[in-house]
């Protein structure tokens, strides 16, 4: 083998090694880019799912608040009323609370069902004693505050999850 042939053979071997290395590195970077895009798409889908769930809970919470408002407006407009009619209106509140519970976390679900239960108890006080009416009013007030606190916690939880998902995707890309 002549020196020209040796040089040609060395150049061919180097070209093959260079081509193989370039292909390997290119493939690796393409694979990493594809993996990053998949992670980004998955995070985007998770954020969209989270947004839909939050919107659903907001809608169900609003429905419960509307039903409770309608009940309170009815009671406020009528100094005396048949308890059966008030209970029918309360049934709509209960249905709205259960609809919220189907999608909300345990704390918000409990708070929603508690406000309905406390209101139900207030509609049929155990005695004509003014103290029982005052206690019922306090219980309604406390459970209303608890309901709002739990709703705010649930919505804050969505914001925190969204922040984690969005922060993760930007940090990893």
Q: Residue 168 pLDDT more than 90?
A: no
Q: How many folded domains does the chain comprise?
A: 1
**Region 119-131 average pLDDT:** 78
CA 104/CA 111 separation, integer angstroms: 10
Residue ranges making up the domain that contains 126: 3-172
Higher pLDDT, 135 or 50: 50
> What's the whole-number average pLDDT of the chain?
88
**Is 60 in contact with 103 (CB distance < 8 Å)?**
yes
pLDDT tens, 7-29? 888 888 888 888 888 888 888 88
Q: Residue 5 pLDDT more than 90?
A: no
Which distant-in-sequence residues (6+ apart) come within 8 Å of 65 by Cβ?
none
CA 148/CA 171 separation, integer angstroms: 34
* Structure-block tokens of residue 53: 């769930």
CA 159/CA 161 separation, integer angstroms: 5
Which distant-in-sequence residues (6+ apart) come within 8 Å of 172 by Cβ?
36, 39
If DSSP codes are grouped into helix, strand and coil, which group holds residue 67?
Answer: helix
Residue 107 has a CB neighbour count (10 Å cut-off) of: 15
Residue 161 has a CB neighbour count (10 Å cut-off) of: 15
* Structure-block tokens of residue 129: 């004693």
Predicted confidence at residue 173, as pLDDT, reads 45
> What is the 8-class DSSP label of residue 173?
-
CA 50/CA 82 separation, integer angstroms: 43
CA 157/CA 172 separation, integer angstroms: 22
């Amino acid at each position: 083998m002549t020196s020209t042939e040796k040089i040609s053979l060395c150049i061919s071997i180097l070209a093959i090694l260079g081509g193989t290395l370039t292909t390997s590195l290119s493939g690796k970077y393409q694979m990493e880019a594809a993996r990053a895009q998949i992670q980004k798409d998955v995070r985007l889908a998770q954020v969209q799912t989270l947004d839909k769930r939050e919107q659903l809970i907001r809608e169900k919470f609003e429905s419960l608040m509307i039903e409770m408002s309608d009940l309170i407006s009815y009671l406020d407009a009528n100094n005396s009323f048949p308890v059966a009619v008030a209970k029918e209106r309360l049934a709509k509140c209960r249905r709205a609370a259960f609809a919220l519970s189907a999608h909300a976390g345990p704390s918000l679900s409990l708070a929603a069902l508690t406000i309905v239960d406390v209101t139900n108890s207030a509609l049929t006080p155990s005695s004509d004693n003014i103290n029982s009416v005052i206690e019922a009013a306090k219980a309604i007030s406390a459970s209303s505050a608890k309901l709002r606190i739990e709703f705010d916690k649930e919505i804050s939880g969505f914001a925190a999850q969204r922040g984690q998902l969005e922060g993760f995707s930007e940090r990893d890309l």
